[in-house]
Amino acid sequence: MSRLTAAAVVFILSALVPFFVRWLRARRWGLAVNVYVDRDDPRPKEICGYLAEIASRLDERPERMRVVFHARCSGGRAPALDLEKDRRLRVDVDGRRSEKVDLRARWIADHPVPLDLRRAVLYIDPVDANRFRVMTAPPFPVPRSVYLIASLLATAGLVFFAPEPVALALGASIGRATAAK
């Protein structure tokens, strides 16, 4: 294989790394559960019903899932998820209308509070048979050695005027950046 063919293969692979990372993350967290909220009149009771249904689904079959909220509401009517002092969840719309759902001993919040639900993605990871951890960013651990190898590859590519290692390092870093979103 000639150097030109090898360079082309490396550049194509580095361009595909971000898509591979997104595919791997989707496979790890299962299919997304899409929750569509009425854009004209978001109802907190309806959103609480979705959250209670997700909790009952996790009772039947504990598995990782992504919950994607689609609520393109105006700024004043944006639904938000908050925690009460007694650890109950409260869904609040426009500051006046709110509804509570009792998932006290079950919902472990690893997300910011209050959480704007206009375009939120919640990653739900069952901890045991009765509790689940809820995050806004997936835990996608990458060992530090991978970053060290990528930086050494990029440095070697820059020193020896070889674009292939730089392309691989950039592809890996872009893939990691898109996995965090």
How far is it, in rounded angstroms, from Cα 87 to Cα 79? 19
- What's the pTM? 0.68
How far is it, in rounded angstroms, from Cα 101 to Cα 89? 5
How far is it, in rounded angstroms, from Cα 117 to Cα 106? 20
pLDDT tens digits along 134-152: 998 877 666 667 777 777 8
SS3 94: coil
pLDDT tens digits along 75-125: 567 788 988 888 888 998 877 778 988 887 888 888 888 888 888 889 898
Given this model, what pLDDT does residue 111 score? 87
* Residue 1 banded pLDDT, cuts 50, 70, 90: low
Residue 18 has pLDDT above 60, yes or no: yes
* Residue 159 banded pLDDT, cuts 50, 70, 90: confident
Token output for 170: 């950039």
Given this model, what pLDDT does residue 27 score? 74
E strand spans, the chain: 32-36, 65-70, 79-83, 89-93, 97-101, 107-110, 115-116, 121-126, 132-135
Given this model, what pLDDT does residue 79 score? 86
- Which letter, b or e, does each residue of 89-112 get, where b requires 16 or more Cβ atoms within 10 Å of its Cβ? bbbbbbeeebbebebeebbbbebe
Given this model, what pLDDT does residue 178 score? 57
